[in-house]
Each structure stands twice: as C-alpha cells, then as structure tokens.
Amino acid sequence: MTASVQREALSGVHPHERAAFPRHVAIIMDGNGRWAKERGLPRTEGHRQGVETLRRIVRHAAKLGISCLTLYSFSSENWTRPEAEVSFLMGLLQRFVRRDLAELVKANIKVRVIGSREGLSPSIASLLDEAEAATRGNSGMELVVAFNYGARDELTRAMRKIAADVAAGRLDPAKIDESVIASRLDTADLPDPDLIIRTSGEQRLSNFLLWQAAYAEFFFPRFNWPDFDEKAFDEALSVFAARDRRYGGLSQKADA
C-alpha cells in the first residue's frame, strides 16, 4: 500500500474500522547523537533537530487519524548521561512544552505522561502536570510521552500496587490475571501498541513497553531520528498494513 493510496483509504473512514491501520504507534526516537556526529556537530544539535522531527511527526500522525502515539522521550537510564547533556535535554523539554502546548490544545491532542515522577525536580514535575491538565478535555489523538520511563520500573511499581491491595484485603490473589496487571501499569486504559518504530537501525526495545509490546509489529529504519520524516512514517504504516497479525493463531489471509 503506497502512502497516497493509504491516505485515500483514510478518507471518511475511522481508523478503528480499518484492521490494517494501527490504532497505537510507539516510537523509540534513536540516533540524535549519531546524526550530529556524522555532521561534525555537537550532540546537543542532534537533540535540537530531533525535537523538530518530533513536532512534524506528531502533526502528521494526528492528521492521519492515529488514535495514540507514544514517544520514548527520556528513559530512566538516560540520567547516567553527562550532566550537561541531561541539563540540555531538560531545557529542550521545557521549551517544547512552552512553545507547543497551545498548539496541542488547539489541535485537540491529549497529552499523557508515563513513567515515574519520583525524584523529578519540582519545575519538571509541574511542567508535566501542566501539559496533562491543559489538554485533559481534548478528545483527539492521545500523545503519550514516556519520560523518566523504564518498563522494568513500571512493572515493579505495578507489582507493588498489587501486593499492597492483596495485603489490605482488597484483592484476592486468585483473581490476579493479565487484566489486573495491565490495570496497574502506567498505560492502563490505553490500547497496546500495534506498531513500534525504532530509528537508527538498532533492533531492540531498550526497556520500552515490555509488557505492552507482546504482539506489536516492529519497523527498524536505518536512518537516525532527525532524518525521520512524514514519508518514512507512511512507509512504516504501509509495512504494517502488509503484516499478517496472528496473535498466536492461524493466518487470517485467504491463501493461508
């Protein structure tokens, strides 16, 4: 399916009604530093260009009718990077929210932040709260920002919640099933990702949505995140549309 055909197919059709169209796309935005290094630029310039790519992809995904877009913006492991780089990234986050929040509100995009808020500076924590509060009434695409996020940490926090409920007598251990675990995750009430994209050619999850990715399809473009554009996003959707998603069962294709 070409991008032009895909756009025509989207016309007048809600994406939830199209089995070959992903409701939830998640992106690991990788390669900012490598992009800068290839051009003899400081890593900070790669991050700056990465934010510009982020803006374009958010607009494009919303225009296409993606229901949920999750972006791995800052992992719980990223704090180990040089202090100057972390400080620059925090500044970028602040500038992004200050510059783009009004546009997100106007575009009917709803922001949701996943990850641990523990240990965040008051200024960053309040900024994340502000972005969620300002867009809470929106009903369009849900933009999920994975910040200070690690899937193992998410699962650990979920297990603690379940253990506390069991200890308090609110939950029968025999009743613990997949739905109970999912309801304690940061992504509770969100659909699992249908498609996960990781740029830069790396082919690993890096502690991202480990539970939720059980049946996700993957797309690994070789170019770095600042070079990822609308055409590349459309290509990922076309590749997804050609996949045969069986969920452990038999093929649904006519010739299977």
> From the annotation, which residues make up the binding site for substrate?
31-35, 43, 47, 75-77, 79, 81, 198, 204-206
Torsion angle of the four alpha carbons 64, 65, 67, 71, in this order, in degrees rounded to the nearest 10: 20
Catalytic residue among 78, 138, 207, 227: 78
For residue 252, give the 3-state DSSP assignment. Answer: coil
Judge whether 148 counts as a catalytic residue: no
Is 30 an annotated catalytic residue?
yes
Q: Which amino acid is at 151?
A: A
- Whose structure tokens read 């690993």? 204
The C-alpha angle with vertex 135 and arms to 240 and 32, in degrees rounded to 5, equals 50
- What kind and span of H or E run contains 233? helix 230-242
Catalytically annotated residue among 30, 153, 186, 194: 30
- Tokens representing residue 34 in the block: 């490598």
**Residues placed in the known binding site:** 30-35, 43, 47, 75-77, 79, 81, 198, 204-206, 217
Token pair for 103: 């546009």
- DSSP-assigned letters across all residues of 101-142: HHHHHHTTPEEEEES--TT--HHHHHHHHHHHHHHTT--S-E
Q: Which of 88, 71, 209 is nearest to 131 (CA)?
A: 71
Q: Determine how β-strand 142-149 pairs with β-strand 24-28.
A: unpaired
Binding residues for Mg(2+): 30, 217
Catalytic positions are: 30, 78
